[in-house]
Homo-oligomer: A and B are copies of this chain.
Amino acid sequence: MAATTDAAPGNRLDRRKARTRAALIRAAQSFIAEGKLNVPILEITQAADIGLGSFYNHFESREQLFQVAVEDAVEVHADLLDHVTADIDDPAVVFAHSFRLTGRLHRLEPALSKVVLNSGLSLLGADMGLAPRARRDIARAVKAGRFTVQDLDLTMAVIVGAALSLGQLLHDQPERDDATATDQITEDLLRMLGLTAAQARKICSLPLPELDAVVPGGPA
């Protein structure tokens, strides 16, 4: 579950600390969504309606807060993906839907996307966020006989690399249609995962469910 929606812990002090931390994370996500990555800590605490001194009870620096805020936003997106794909039986479609919906985030949340891309290849070993969910979906599809994978670590390296490259390409080529590009790369990856060209094309032309906003202040 995402940090901003964490159930509050036991006693009153703990609950207040959790609320303050969540307010800082939400404020940071709003500034990130607006592309204001250089915002002073004072402005963040004012937006969160807390004292400047309280900041350092929760985070060592703006960079640390922003890191947590991005991880939280990615977790929220990942939870949304789980939610909108919960009723889909074919794990190959779950993977494809998730990749297609995630590719569309780069334009919907450009500042968040750029922060994620700056983290770059370190995401490869991340134990939270989207990579573990993609790994889970691919493993399920292998088990169901839908995908053929020799070495899941290596497959994940290609998937994560492709996801990052796609984001970079969409920023580098602003005139390019993001939905078409994302669906084409998903289709290419599905062939790599063992589907035929016709199967891959069909899955990537299925209608997608709607996603709600990933960060407060971002588009609905």
Query: A: which residues have CB within 8 A of B?
Result: 117, 120-121, 124-125, 148, 150-151, 153-155, 157-158, 160-166, 168-169, 172-173, 181, 184-185, 187-189, 191-192, 194, 197
Contacts and interface: CB of A to CB of B under 8 A. Distances in A.
Contact of A184 (B150, B160, B184, B197): B150
B151 A184 contact: yes
Given A154-B181, A161-B163, A125 B172 contact: yes
20 contacts: A121-B164, A121-B168, A125-B172, A150-B184, A151-B181, A151-B184, A153-B173, A154-B166, A154-B169, A155-B188, A157-B166, A158-B158, A158-B161, A158-B165, A158-B185, A160-B165, A161-B161, A162-B162, A164-B164, A191-B192
Contacts of A124: 165, 168-169, 172
Identical copies in the complex: 2
Contacts of A168: 121, 124, 157
Q: Is the interface of A mostly helix, strand, loop or mixed?
A: helix
Contacts of A191: 191-192, 194
A169 B192 contact: no
Contacts of A165: 121, 124, 157-158, 160-161
A166 B157 CA distance: 6
Given A192-B188, A197-B194, A157 B151 contact: no
A188 B164 CA distance: 18
